[in-house]
Amino acid sequence: MTGTTTGNVEASVLRVSALTKAYGPGTSLLSRFATGRAGTLKALDGVDLHVRPGEILALVGESGSGKSTLAKILVGSTSPTSGDVSIAGEPAPASRTKESSRRVQMVFQDPYSSLNPRIPVGRMLSELLLLHRIVPRAEVRAESVRLLNLVGLEEDVLTAYPSQFSGGQRQRLAIARALAVRPEVLIADEPVSALDVSVQATILELFATLRTELGLSILFIAHNLAVVQHLADRVAVMYLGRIVEVAPTAQLFTEPRHPYTRALIDSIPRMTETSVNDGFEVDGEPPSPYDVPAGCRFHPRCPLASEVCRENDPPLLAVGPAHESACLKADELALIPVPNVPLEQR
Ligand SMILES: Nc1ncnc2c1ncn2[C@@H]1O[C@H](COP(=O)(O)OP(=O)(O)OP(=O)(O)O)[C@@H](O)[C@H]1O
Ligand code: SF4
Ligand SMILES: [Mg+2]
């Protein structure tokens, strides 16, 4: 490990520092009964992350690791317990203004949740364009058609209702809606998880095209590393409310420096019959965020864990250029090469 900290000051369109989000036990007996808990749940426990201009940054982690909580804080729909959020170098106001919420837009796993089924597409887009004064009234129709074409839809859908669309078309529509206000950053929270595999590929291609054509910055959230392998410039891996590794995508796949990342890579199906079984599999559920393990939070599931890991909570540190890991044995892991078996293509 190089031993330098991650406090770089490179340009970012979105940055969070020391971000935490705790959910209390709730005051009613009913909520305590529902959760079966009386303590505090740490959904985010000190997250540092930034999105660079024009990049696709993937955020990957198991269910419950805090990905959506981070996304909601970034778009201002929930507030952090502590820590800072800045948009294009300026602190994001605690209550988002119309302008600050315009700059960061979100696309959800279920596009239906952001589309009003009773409003036709043309009206949905024109209301947004006028509310945010994106174009003069006389240009609203042309701008709506431009947005639809941008996401691969045609002018004739202007009069259609969201219920008339297929899953993939609905996601395209949700993306057009998010782009209507000309955001600087798009946050896509598992936007392909609910789609058929064949449709997933076309929506992934659309994100890649939008980044190239619009210079858009995208935070792309996924459960599965394989989904982002050919899309993302960098990948941030999240575990139990923390970022545990960040690296350029190719480097993360070939030289992971955190055992959890290594386990995620090993779990991706391979092109050949050869199965990868080199001891890095992670079985079972992660520990409860109500009771985060002392020391390294990954130690109960880590094949490399030793006494030092139970006693020390590793910070995210630089392990190479643009590569950071929160593992006390990142250097040891570098000596155990990833099996050279081609991954299945997505
Ligand atoms: N409003 C809430 N009240 C209490 N706990 C919450 C709330 N929202 C999320 N949590 C908890 O916070 C933790 C992180 O949840 P979050 O939805 O951010 O995870 P995620 O990584 O997006 O998971 P998934 O992959 O399943 O979408 C989980 O333990 C979840 O149960
Ligand atoms: S610090 Fe120890 S327990 Fe944590 S990931 Fe590294 S080797 Fe595993
Ligand atoms: Mg989620």
Closest ligand to Cα 285: 1
Check: CB of residue 18 under 8 Å from CB of residue 83: yes
CATH number of the domain to which 181 belongs: 3.40.50.300
Between helix 140-150 and helix 121-131 the angle, nearest 10°, is 110
Task: Please write the tens of the pLDDT for every residue from 165-193.
Answer: 999 999 999 999 999 999 999 999 999 99
Do residue 72 and residue 214 come from a single domain? yes
Tell me: pLDDT of 23 over 80. Answer: yes
Q: Is 229 in the pocket of ligand 1 (CB under 6 A)?
A: no
In a domain, 207, yes or no: yes
User: Does a structural domain hold residue 266?
Assistant: yes
Q: Is 136 domain-assigned?
A: yes
Distance 68 CA to ligand 3 centre (A): 4
Q: Is residue 253 part of a domain?
A: no
Nearby residues for ligand 3 (ion, Cβ within 5 Å): 67-68
State if residue 43 touches ligand 1 by the CB under 6 angstroms criterion: yes
Q: Which of 210, 232, 254 delimits the end of a domain?
A: 232
pLDDT at position 28 over 70:
no
Task: Let me know whether 213 and 97 are in one domain.
Answer: yes
- Judgement on whether residues 186 and 330 belong to the same structural domain of the protein: no
Per-residue pLDDT tens digits for 281-330: 887 788 999 999 999 999 999 999 999 999 999 999 999 999 999 999 99
**Residues 80 and 145 placed together within one structural domain of the fold:** yes
Q: Is residue 151 located within the same domain as residue 293? A: no
Q: Is the pLDDT of residue 207 over 90?
A: yes
State the pLDDT at residue 2.
44
Q: Is the CB of 15 under 6 A from ligand 1?
A: no
Residue 302 is assigned to a structural domain of this protein: yes
Out of 211, 232, 253, a domain closes at 232
> Which of 225, 221, 241 is closest to 297 using CA atoms?
241
CB atoms inside a 10 Å sphere around CB 6:
16
Mapped onto helix, strand or coil, the DSSP state of residue 44 is strand
d(CA 212, CA 201): 17
Q: Do 269 and 228 share a structural domain?
A: no
Span from the CA of 19 to the centroid of ligand 1 (angstroms): 15
Domain membership of residue 205 (yes or no) is yes
| 69 close to ligand 1 (CB < 6 Angstrom) | yes
* 140 and 282 belong to one structural domain: no
**Is the per-residue pLDDT at 7 higher than 50?**
no
Does residue 66 have its Cβ closer than 6 Å to ligand 1?
yes
State CA 128 to chain mean position distance. Answer: 25
Choose among 196, 177, 195, 178: nearest CA to 187.
178
**Separation of 293 CA from ligand 2 center, angstroms?**
12
| Side-by-side strand order, sheet with 41-51 | 41-51, 14-23, 82-87, 90-91
Cα dist from 282 to 62, 103, 259, 277, 279, whole Å: 11, 38, 9, 11, 9
**What are residue 104's DSSP bridge partners?**
185
Residue 315 placed within a domain: yes
Interval between CA 16 and ligand 2 midpoint (Å)? 24
pLDDT per residue as tens digits for the range 261-279 = 999 998 887 766 565 667 7
Identify whether residues 227 and 269 lie together within a single domain. Answer: no
CB 112 within 8 A of CB 191: no
pLDDT digits (tens, 9 = 90+) for 128-143: 999 999 999 999 999 9
Sequence-ordered alpha helix ranges (H) in 115-196: 121-131, 140-150, 167-179
Structure token pair of residue 39: 């303590």
Residues 57 and 206 in one domain: yes
Domain that holds residue 297: 262-346
Q: Indicate the pairing of strand 41-51 with strand 14-23.
A: antiparallel
Q: What is the arithmetic mean of pLDDT over 118-128?
A: 96
DSSP string spanning 59-102?
A: EE--TTSSHHHHHHHHHTSS--SEEEEEETTEEPPSSPPHHHHH
Residue 8 lies in a domain: no
Distance CA 13, CA 187 (A): 12
Q: Say if residue 160 is in the same domain as residue 266.
A: no
Name the domain count of the chain: 2
Q: Is the CB of 53 under 6 A from ligand 1?
A: no
User: Do 204 and 329 fall within a single domain?
Assistant: no
Position 187, amino acid: I
Q: Ligand 2: which atom is nearest the Cα of residue 302?
A: 8
The confidence score (pLDDT) of residue 210 equals 96
Q: Are residues 266 and 226 in the same domain?
A: no
Q: 117 or 260: whose pLDDT is higher?
A: 260
Q: Is the per-residue pLDDT at 345 higher than 60?
A: no
